[in-house]
A and B are shown apart, each in its own frame.
Chain A
Amino acid sequence: MRDSDMESIFALVLAKANYVVYIILMMVGLYAMIVKNNLIKKIVGMSIFQTAIILFYVSIGCKRGATIPILVHHASPEAAAHGAEKIAAHAMEAVDVAHYINPLPHVLMLTAIVVGVATLGVALALAIKVYNTYGTVEEDEINQQLRSG
């Protein structure tokens, strides 16, 4: 592989770093959910898996050089004191979308975080019930108990 190829791949990874990070996190979570023997570790993996998607959503709303989407006018205190006409005039100014990051994915993720917490809660409650029944949270030991009757 030539150096220029390496450089272009490197540049691509750097430009899409958010995607790379979310996919790595997602795979870490998925790996833990599939491979780990301990139910609590599986639950942790599930949480990482969900967090990866949340980071993905949060990152797609971002823009270079943009600010948080709150309409703040660069009005000094004196200007604010001038009264309503001034504020109204500011509000009439066209909002340049490029100056603000997209708030929608972030708002969506507030809901997804709540869902994630609820799922984690249900999963841990179930893990407690499993522990009370079998006295362990290791899957192979539980399977052994199930097989022996």
Chain B
Amino acid sequence: MTRHLPALIIVIPLLAALFTAGSGWINSKAPFRIAVAALFFSFVCAVLMLIQVVTTGIAMEYRMAGWAGPMGIVYVIDHLSAIVLVVITAVSTLNLVAQKKNIDAEFNDKEGAFNALYVLFTAGLIGMTATGDAFNLYVLLEIVSLSGYALIGLGSRRAPLATLNYLFLGTIGATFYLLGVGYLYIATGTLNMAELATIIPQNMESGVILFAFIICLTGLFVKMAMFPVHGWLPEAYSQATSVSTGLIAPLTTKVTVYIMIRICMTVFTPEYTFGHLDISGFIVLLAIVTIVFGSLSALAQTNVKRMLSYIIIAEVGYMVGGFFLGNRLGISGAILHIINDAAMTLALFLAAGIFIWKTGGESRSDLKGLFAKMPFTMAGFVLAGLSVVGVPPTCGFFSKWYLISGGIQAGNTLFVAALIFSSLVNAVLFFRLFEIAYFEPFADADSHGSNHGSHTHGGALAIKEAPLDMLIPFLIASITLIVLGLYSGTIVTNIIQFAIPTGVI
């Protein structure tokens, strides 16, 4: 049974996606139940695999259909992919459960299609994380992208246009990655990541491999919204429905960063990425620009979802910059931040989902007086906000600590300055929201009703605490932020430390 976990974790959601699509016609409640069951099953698989990998210390390798090594496709679960799998499945399950009411409101009688896309998206992410084959990664990347386009396109009136622009850039990104894989295949004659890693160090001088590296990385940068190619993200994320953003925002960029780390460390090996090539400095600089740009743009937004989208761009800069510092502290910080940022973004977007469901508005001013009305939700939101700012003991502090230490060790003052600057901007952003929610009086019923009357559930005066089935998953997500913070030392020493090749100092 344990032997087959790496296959089951992806096969079950894939099959479930198939059944969910059809089950909507039979019973309107069935798609949601099948989706939750499949995702929870994947979560259990991921936790079991993480426990096994941590206790044995050996990576699990699964040969699809029994075909070994370079001939067949292998799925490899090592420390890094195991922890990312747990994050993906946990975020996906929690978000689906928490936003049940939003799904009912926004996807009335489209539950089958929506839940199928949702599960398919998660299955693609799981596959991307677990696969040990460079081309298989491309196929799964496109599964994730296509279901992601559909999920975002189902959003507001402006969503289809935003999605189409995302689709153009996303296709360029994925196709660049495919081109890079093609050149890697020309140079090495294999697509298996483990075999690539043994061949590439023997051909460090090859121009074909250099071209493959650059073109793969460019493709991934487009996918993760690095500075010059970030334009698609804020529009797409802010036009999507809350449940879609709650899934896509915490996971897509983070998993793409994971893929970048996987490609740079496992395929091209650190000796090539950091030792042989002299591009780390440039990429860190690009990351710094991304951080500063993301933070400043977030400052200019009045729409809460848009503001959070720009914060995501800044966070991508944290992780990419931290990784390309090229030292152990920086890479640990980047990997830890993948986990923490997924949790923080989930909590923030769940909070946004509750606000939108309750008030019907997405603007900053819609938060007026909400502290008094929904104390538990706001407490969770404050926790998530403090974590993004980086206040101990929330998890955001610890990953930032590693990133800053990495920056100091690498002697990159600019990166450290950008991180501190971004934290200050985040503090301004979130305290402004807290102030509006805490001190400003609650908007009166008339103006509220006339603005968004059709969306408001139960009328403005009746606004009180969110219903329990939304509140409990949200509070779990926000308490996780503290738990992750308190156990960040354990995570680093037991998992992340083994995820980084010993060659990296």
Interface residues of A (CB under 8 A from B): 30, 33, 39, 42, 46, 49-50, 53, 56-57, 60, 104-105, 108, 111-112, 115, 118-119, 122-123, 125-127, 129-130, 133-134, 142, 146
> How would you classify the secondary structure of chain B's contact residues: helix, strand, loop or mixed?
helix
Are A53 and B164 CB-contacts (below 8 A) given A115-B142, A126-B149?
Answer: no
Tell me whether B182 and A53 are in contact (CB under 8 A).
yes
A119, closest chain B residue (CB): B171
Interface flags for B165-188 (1: CB within 8 Å of A; 0: not) read 001100110010011001001100
Instruction: List the A side residues contacting B168 at CB < 8 Å.
Output: 33, 42, 46
Tell me whether B172 and A49 are in contact (CB under 8 A).
yes
Are A146 and B158 CB-contacts (below 8 A) given A112-B178, A126-B153?
Answer: yes
CA distance A46 to B173 in the complex (A): 12
Tell me whether B150 and A108 are in contact (CB under 8 A).
no
Interface membership of B161, Cβ < 8 A: yes
Instruction: List the B side residues contacting A127 at CB < 8 Å.
Output: 164
Instruction: List the A side residues contacting B135 at CB < 8 Å.
Output: 108, 111
Interface flags for B93-111 (1: CB within 8 Å of A; 0: not) read 0000000000000000000
Which of chain B's residues 332-386 have a Cβ closer than 8 Å to chain A?
A: none
Instruction: List the B side residues contacting A146 at CB < 8 Å.
Output: 158
Measured CB to CB, the closest approach of chain B to A60, in angstroms, equals 6
Tell me whether A33 and B146 are in contact (CB under 8 A).
no
Tell me whether A123 and B167 are in contact (CB under 8 A).
yes
**Nearest 7 interchain pairs by C-beta:** A129-B160, A115-B142, A126-B164, A126-B160, A130-B160, A130-B161, A122-B149
Instruction: List the A side residues contacting B185 at CB < 8 Å.
Output: 60, 104-105
Tell me whether A115 and B149 are in contact (CB under 8 A).
no
Interface membership of B3, Cβ < 8 A: no
Instruction: List the A side residues contacting B167 at CB < 8 Å.
Output: 46, 119, 122-123, 126
Interface membership of B218, Cβ < 8 A: no
Tell me whether B142 and A130 are in contact (CB under 8 A).
no
Tell me whether A105 and B164 are in contact (CB under 8 A).
no
CA distance A137 to B153 in the complex (A): 16
Instruction: List the B side residues contacting A123 at CB < 8 Å.
Output: 164, 167
Q: Which of A49, A126, A134 contacts B175 (CB 8 A)?
A: A49
